[in-house]
Structure formats: structure tokens, C-alpha cells
Amino acid sequence: MTELRINCFWLPPSHGGRRFDPHPGLRLGIRWQRHVHEDQDIYRDVEFERLSVDPSTRQGVAVVRLMTEVPGDWLRHGELVEILEGFHVVAVGYVSDEDGP
């Protein structure tokens, strides 16, 4: 299974984000903003392997494991993504090739 590094901003609960902090082992969804209107099957399950989030800015880096494969061009640095809990967007970010947690 593919690992993906994401630089992300977690939305505060007042704006629809999670009430609880993200943690390793968390299973959420991911979708690529570029492909939102192209295909109904862009939502993928991910498991958070490692993450580091600054509680004051809600910004951080996460390493997630994709539960299914995606096309290689979706994994390029800079691709914009949304992290979902059900149909709620709880974080936004981009695919990164920078070192992280």
C-alpha cells in the first residue's frame, strides 16, 4: 500500500472540523481537489501512520497509508487534497515530498 505525505491545516470545530485531535491509527477519507468533478470514485480511505500538528496553528504534516491504489500523477508534490470524516471536510492540504514526522 502507498504512503503519502501531506502538509495540512485542520479546520477548527467551529468551521466543521473534528472535535478531537487527529492521532496515529485514525481512519478518514481523502479526495483530490483537481479530480472532484471528473470521477465519482475519487474518495479513498486512508489510515494516519504518523503526524505532527501544531495545536496553536492547527497546521502539520501527516503520513497516511492509502487503502487502495491511485494513479501516480495524483501523488505529485503540490496536489491539493481534502481530508474527510464522512462527508465533512475536516482538513485541507497538499501532497508533499518534504521531510516530516
Give phi and psi for 35, each to the nearest 5: -110, 10
Q: In this structure, which amino acid lies at residue 89?
A: V
Question: pTM score, two decimals?
Answer: 0.88
Nearest to 33 by CA among 41, 46, 42, 24: 42
For the domain 3-95, what is the CATH superfamily, name and number?
A: Translation factors (2.40.30.10)
Say yes or no to pLDDT of 14 above 90.
Answer: yes
Model pLDDT, residue 45? 94
Contact 36, 51 (CB under 8 A): no
- Domain layout of the chain by residue ranges: 3-95
| Tens of pLDDT, residues 50-85 | 999 999 999 999 999 999 998 889 899 999 999 999
In this predicted structure, the answer to whether residue 38 has a pLDDT above a threshold of 90 is no
